[in-house]
Chains A and B, each alone.
Chain A
Amino acid sequence: EAEVAQSPRYKITEKSQAVAFWCDPISGHATLYWYRQILGQGPELLVQFQDESVVDDSQLPKDRFSAERLKGVDSTLKIQPAELGDSAMYLCASSFSRKGNSYEQYFGPGTRLTVT
């Protein structure tokens, strides 16, 4: 069964350092999402891509976070510089849907970030 791949699974970094996460969605899925899940809370959307274009980044802290999906396939989420409050699980999800359709989102295993 096809899965969403993420790496690394775990990352420990010092504050003020740069960190990057990678996501490879299920083949053929046009929509890719990055969510942040703080311990004890539900995931919150950071950024949504439709193919290679950003369609929603309203909750992305753009002073330190950036995301790209250059060829409309895999994606990278970067934080620079990392802050203590960025410690969380970063989840990637993908969906077959085109804009406006609520198709199922498939989630990857996540990257757990700890900032010290």
Chain B
Amino acid sequence: GDSVTQMEGPVTLSEEAFLTINCTYTATGYPSLFWYVQYPGEGLQLLLKATKADDKGSNKGFEATYRKETTSFHLEKGSVQVSDSAVYFCALSEGETSGSRLTFGEGTQLTVNP
């Protein structure tokens, strides 16, 4: 079945540091890939997405590129801020083959210190 594996956390960075959170996936078809963010006490918010190979999703300074050859969708940001502290989830959806449900990774807790 489908699965998503994220790098283990938690991750602690200083403000303005470079961020990478690794995400790899296993899927039977050609999934769409997503990054969601969850701030304390809140639901999940879509951060960015990519629907086909080599697509780059970007939002709020975050980027991720859909790499079919390595089955990866790593999240990057060049300069993190304290306000980026949250839990980040990588997810996939196979659409036609799974009715569009999302399969999530376990999440990576990011803490950014001033």
Contact = CB atoms under 8 A, between A and B. Distances in A.
Contacts of B98: 56
Size class of the contact patch on chain A? 20 to 34
A51 B93 CA distance: 19
A14 B43 CA distance: 25
B44 A107 contact: yes
Contact of A33 (B96, B101, B105): B101
Interface in A83-116: 91, 93, 95, 97, 99-110
B46 interface: yes
Given A91-B43, A91-B44, A103 B100 contact: yes
A99 B91 CA distance: 18
B86 to A, nearest CB: 14
Interface in B81-105: 89, 91, 93-96, 98-102, 104-105
Chain B, interface size category, equals: 20 to 34
Interface stretch (A41-49, A64-72, A74-82): A41-49
Contacts, number: 68
B104 A43 contact: yes
Contact of B105 (A42, A45, A110): A42
A88 B16 CA distance: 34
B107 A95 contact: no
B91 A42 contact: yes
Contact of A42 (B89, B93, B99): B89
Given A41-B107, A104-B49, A31 B100 contact: yes
Contacts of A101: 95, 100
B58 interface: no
Contact of A100 (B44, B89, B99): B99
B99 to A, nearest CB: 5
Interface of B: 4, 31-32, 36, 41-46, 49, 51, 89, 91, 93-96, 98-102, 104-107
The 6 closest A-B pairs by CB, nearest first: A42-B104, A107-B43, A102-B95, A100-B96, A102-B32, A107-B44
